[in-house]
Amino acid sequence: MANTKDTAAKAATKGKAEKADKSAKPAKVEGAQVIAKGYVPSLQKKYKDEIVGKLMKEFGYTSIMQVPKLTKITINQGVGAATGDKKLVDIAQQELTTITGQKAMLTYSRKDISNFKLRKGMPIGVKVTLRAAKMYEFLERLISISLPRIRDFKGINDKFDGKGNYTLGIKEQIIYPEIDIDKITKILGMEITFVTTAAKDEEAYALLREFGLPFKNIKK
């Protein structure tokens, strides 16, 4: 009889634990923004009203469809120290969400590397892919506010990948005004990749130049 009662008690306890696990919610990441329906960012308007015409004239395009477009901006942030402190990834996720206005996703290791205490499937970074209005909003803030905050800033390099895409390296996340420098736990860099439909680097360069990216020794 006692065994029957013990078994029933264990089953009830197990059931409560499973129910609690299912109801548990992941840590909330704050900072994501909602773009109002119908809202058109100023850089998106500038592309349609000014940049398209300038590029058609510069490269002799015969159709608007030939003009290169900016399709997405991807921001990647590696957190190597996360192998020793998992909380750093959560902090990086929160910071990148605040910076971009879109929830950052975790990136995971693909294999074990014993020398770095790295296990396959461990969270080692965060990533955000911006499109449409949020992409243009981020680009405008980057050009107008964030890049000028870099110490001794003299412009960015103009090395493209040969396929019409450009990656910009940022050494410190504190250039973004959304980040409270008094609350950061670790200085982290990031890579910002601008993906375009341009067939040549020259065309992609002209597109990003017209948007206002401050390249060194601007070519016109």
Residue 17 falls inside a structural domain: no
Residue 198 falls inside a structural domain: yes
pLDDT surpassing 60 at residue 113: no
**Arithmetic mean of pLDDT, 124-144:** 95
Among residues 208, 111, 123, the alpha carbon closest in space to that of 166 is found at: 208
Residue 170 falls inside a structural domain: yes
pLDDT surpassing 90 at residue 169: yes
**Arithmetic mean of pLDDT, 157-172:** 95
**Arithmetic mean of pLDDT, 94-123:** 77
Among residues 140, 132, 198, the alpha carbon closest in space to that of 166 is found at: 198
pLDDT surpassing 60 at residue 19: no
Residue 5 falls inside a structural domain: no
Q: What is the DSSP string of 88-137?
A: HHHHHHHHHHHHHSSPPEEEE-SS-BGGGTB-TT-EEEEEEEE-HHHHHH
- Share of residues in the chain with pLDDT > 90 (%): 61
Residue 2 falls inside a structural domain: no
- Share of residues in the chain with pLDDT > 70 (%): 76
As a whole number of angstroms, the longest Cα–Cα distance in the chain is: 91
Residue 121 falls inside a structural domain: yes
pLDDT at 217: 77
pLDDT surpassing 70 at residue 26: no
pTM for this structure?
0.80
pLDDT at 75: 98
CATH number, residue 141: 3.30.1440.10
| Higher pLDDT among residues 131 and 1, named by residue | 131
Q: Give the range among 8-22, 92-106, 162-176 with minimum mean pLDDT.
A: 8-22
Residue 159 falls inside a structural domain: yes
Tell me the pLDDT of the chain averaged across its residues: 84
User: Distance from CA of residue 182 to its chain's centroid?
Assistant: 22
User: Rounded CA gap, 118 and 113, in Å?
Assistant: 5
Domain that holds residue 112: 42-211
Residue 108 falls inside a structural domain: yes
Decide if 190 contacts 170 (C-beta within 8 A): yes
- pLDDT tens-digit readout, 28-87: 566 677 777 778 999 999 999 999 999 999 999 999 999 999 999 999 998 865 555 678
Give me the number of domains the chain comprises.
1
Alpha helices in the chain (DSSP H): 2-23, 42-46, 52-59, 87-100, 132-141, 201-211
